[in-house]
Amino acid sequence: MAGFYRYDQNLDKYVPMPVELLASEGEEYTAPKITQKFNEVETKTTEILNKVLTDDRYFTVTSSFKQDVTLGIEYYVTKVTPKTTEAKKSMIQKTFAYDFEKSIDPTSSYFGTTNRETVLSMAKRKRSVVAINASGWRSNGEVMGLQIKDGVLYKDYDAAGYTGAEACVFFDDGTMKVYGNREVDADILISKGARNSFAFGIWLVKDSKPRTAQMTTWADLNVKHPRQAIGQRSDGTLVIITVDGRSLRSSGITAYDMPSLFLSEGCINAFLLDGGGSSQTAVEGKYINNISDGIERAVVDTLTISYPDDDTDSRFFEVQEGRGLATSLNRRVEFIESKPTWNVLDLGFSPDGLIDNTAKFKKALSDLSEKGGGKLHFPKGTYLIGKQNTTSASEKIELPSNVSIVGERRSYTKLLRNPNHSLDELLRITDHNYIEGIEIDGNSSVNKSSCRLIAGGNIKSFKMKDCSLVNATDRGVSIHGIGKSITIEGMYISNIANECINVAEGEIIKLIDSEITFSGTALWVGNAANIFTKNNLAKSLKTFVRYKNSQNAICSGNIITNNIDRAIWGSVREAVFSDNVFKQCHSDYHLYFIQEDTGTNDLIVTGNSVYSDVEGTAFIRTPSDIDRRRVSGNVGNIPSLNLD
């Protein structure tokens, strides 16, 4: 059964798990091991360069270093805010390597290997305050995609469907727009005032909406790499995001995860530039990111931020001493201070499961919040929480933004709901929370009142890893607002009365490498985009996944067995279901799709193994008016495995 993987220590990679090795009824299941461990510092922002240049005539530049433990990345956000309309028009420039357009026949569009130039060299030559790599090039030296400089067309789009078929264009008024697969002809763009263009990747955000489809232009979009991308806010502020990668501190990022970074910065449009070792950002003549090659890489062009040519005061400004800007490759930003980690036993917590810790827990969280965030470490023990005999919302335990709680491991550290706790949620989450190595026990055998173990409203970036959620009288995790970047990984979830994970609305929802048993629905998502369910064991549930008016999903490598109801059902506009095992569904269909509001328009169902001894059970039902459906390559013992 290709698609469900186990970690092979000898090969140091994941390999397909044969059907005969899959856990069957009564056997213990172990989720695939996650061997790479990222630096677990909570999501934070560190100012590395505050107002490099503030000049009412032109623009303001700020640059910040950020870490996101959910994505396992370190990245840099550089913002350039124009101070005047004229600055917005003129500050963004395109620089070809060695002034290519002046010295070489522009119709050739070839840079070769010797006439590329480093970002820093171009920055100094053009006396730029900010310079970043931009367009890509092919192995034969040809620059990719649409190339317009100062209103002159040097190269048209590449062929439809290839890298270089999409474009980022800046117009005479300084407005940045992004275009899909040869969307608008080059001559039309120039007639409308196109001044400079860059090409390599795909657009990430367009008219304030994230890219949710056609993210497979080429394979590397789905792989973590160092990345460079640009976006623009409605006020003209240019936002540059440079993600480090290929290191123990930062894994890199997929194209799927990039749109949320720009939306969180308020961008209305964003575009992916050349990445990998080409990802380089220079501010005031110095690189601020760690280049994955270890040395500078020469490139074909840069996007530069410069003074007008007639400004006689244009110069490099000295960075204030002690600000900590990296001055050489591979040197970390020196002044970054780690947020505090507090051991709860030092704060007077009781680990005996008998004494209530609610008051101490709330105070510790409040004190960490005042310090800008941090980590609470729970050593081995059982910690009773949840104030007794109160219905006051003010008594809820809320994790402030940028606060994490971490235990020894889920079999050692337990947060236990108080027998007399009567509030409707045990823990409340906010933005950028992280929970690891803890069992959260709803104590449902003793406390019968309805309670969600974890709840939140509008949430940006929440991750649970290697935890247990057990014995809940309501939901396990409930996000009743908009959840952005929600990851549930390596979990054991059991005896949850209703949905194990419920996200009312959101984007980038991941349930991976987890075991979910004897509960309601494993994952319920509504009005969501980019939903990933991979390598899970789902056993004796009501339903594995319920999609409601969702946009797109990938469901692969899961084992789904002995469900009371359908394994998967609902409406999802575009979805791929591959390499799953469906076994013993006690309903009419394993997969059941309906139209609802958004409709179910494009389905790929392939490579699945489907078995059932229940008479009358079929594999899949799709709406009669579905646009595209490919159901093929599936094996098993029930009807309608392959409809196409």
Tokens representing 42 are 């909570």
Can you read off the two tokens belonging to residue 637? 């013992």
Q: What is the arithmetic mean of pLDDT over 165-188?
A: 94
**Contact predicate 400/365, CB 8 Å:** yes
Q: Token digits for 327?
A: 């001055």
**Banded pLDDT at 319 (limits 50, 70, 90):** very low
pLDDT of residue 39: 30
Q: Is the pLDDT of residue 27 over 60?
A: no
pLDDT in tens, 345-362: 999 999 999 999 999 999
| Neighbour-count burial of 175, counting CB atoms closer than 10 A to its CB (0-12 exposed, 13-18 middle, 19+ buried) | middle
**23, pLDDT greater than 60:** no
Average pLDDT, the chain: 82
Alpha-carbon distance of 573 to 627, in angstroms, equals: 10
Average pLDDT over residues 444-472: 95
CA gyration radius for the chain? 26
**594 pLDDT exceeds 70?**
yes
Using CA atoms, how far residue 510 sits from 110, 249, 360, 523, 532, in Å, is 42, 22, 32, 10, 5
Tens of pLDDT along 154-169? 888 887 666 678 999 9
Residue 296 has pLDDT above 70, yes or no: yes
Distance in Å from the first CA to the final CA of the chain = 21
Closest CA to 605 of 644, 566, 567: 644
322-327 long-range contacts, Cβ below 8 Å, gap at least 24?
323/48, 323/49, 323/50, 324/48, 325/48, 325/49, 325/283, 325/284, 325/286, 325/288, 326/286, 326/287, 326/288, 326/289, 326/290, 327/286
Distance CA 579, CA 200 (A): 32
More confident residue, 371 or 27: 371
Percentage, residues of the chain above pLDDT 70:
81
pLDDT band at 389 (very low <50, low <70, confident <90, very high): confident
Which residues lie closer than 8 Å to 638 by C-beta, 6 or more apart? Answer: 590, 610, 611, 612, 617, 618, 619
Provide the token pair at 631: 């159901």
Structure tokens at 478: 């409930």
- pLDDT tier for residue 327 given thresholds of 50, 70 and 90: very low
Q: How far are the Cα atoms of 59, 126, 284, 306, 350 from residue 314, in angstroms, in the given order?
A: 13, 10, 12, 8, 63
Predicted model pTM: 0.53
Nearest one of 560, 608, 558 to 585, comparing CA atoms: 560
- Helix (H/G/I), strand (E/B), else coil: 610: strand
d(CA 626, CA 91): 48
Q: Which domains does the chain have, with CATH numbers?
A: 44-306 (no CATH), 338-636 (2.160.20.10)
Q: What is the 3-state secondary structure (H, E, C) of 425-472?
A: EEEECCCCEEEECCEEECCCCCCCCCCEEEEECCEEEEEEECCEEEEE
- Whether residue 337 contacts residue 371, with contact meaning beta carbons closer than 8 Å, is answered with no
* More confident: 296 or 191: 191
Confidence bin at 378 (pLDDT 50/70/90): very high
Which of 29 and 272 is assigned the larger pLDDT? 272
Q: Which of 17-31, 317-331, 603-617 has the highest mean pLDDT?
A: 603-617
What confidence tens digit (pLDDT) does each residue in 61-117 have? 888 888 887 788 889 999 999 988 888 988 999 999 877 666 555 555 555 555 688
What pLDDT is stored for residue 320 in this prediction? Answer: 30
CA dihedral over 352, 358, 360, 362, signed as positive or negative = positive
Tens of pLDDT, residue by residue over 595-613, are 877 667 788 999 999 998 8
Span 479-501, pLDDT tens digits:
999 999 999 999 999 999 999 99
CB 22 within 8 A of CB 559: yes
Q: Which of 379, 437, 439, 367 is nearest to 403 (CA)?
A: 367
Maximum average pLDDT range among 75-79, 102-106, 229-233, 505-509: 229-233
| pLDDT given at position 316 | 35
pLDDT for 43 equals 38
CA 214 to each of CA 157, 197, 217, 566, 593: distance values in angstroms, whole numbers, following the listed order:
18, 22, 7, 29, 22
Q: Dihedral sign, CA of 30, 34, 39, 41?
A: negative
Task: Collapse the DSSP code of 287 into the 3-class scheme (helix H, G, I; strand E, B; otherwise coil) and give the result.
Answer: strand
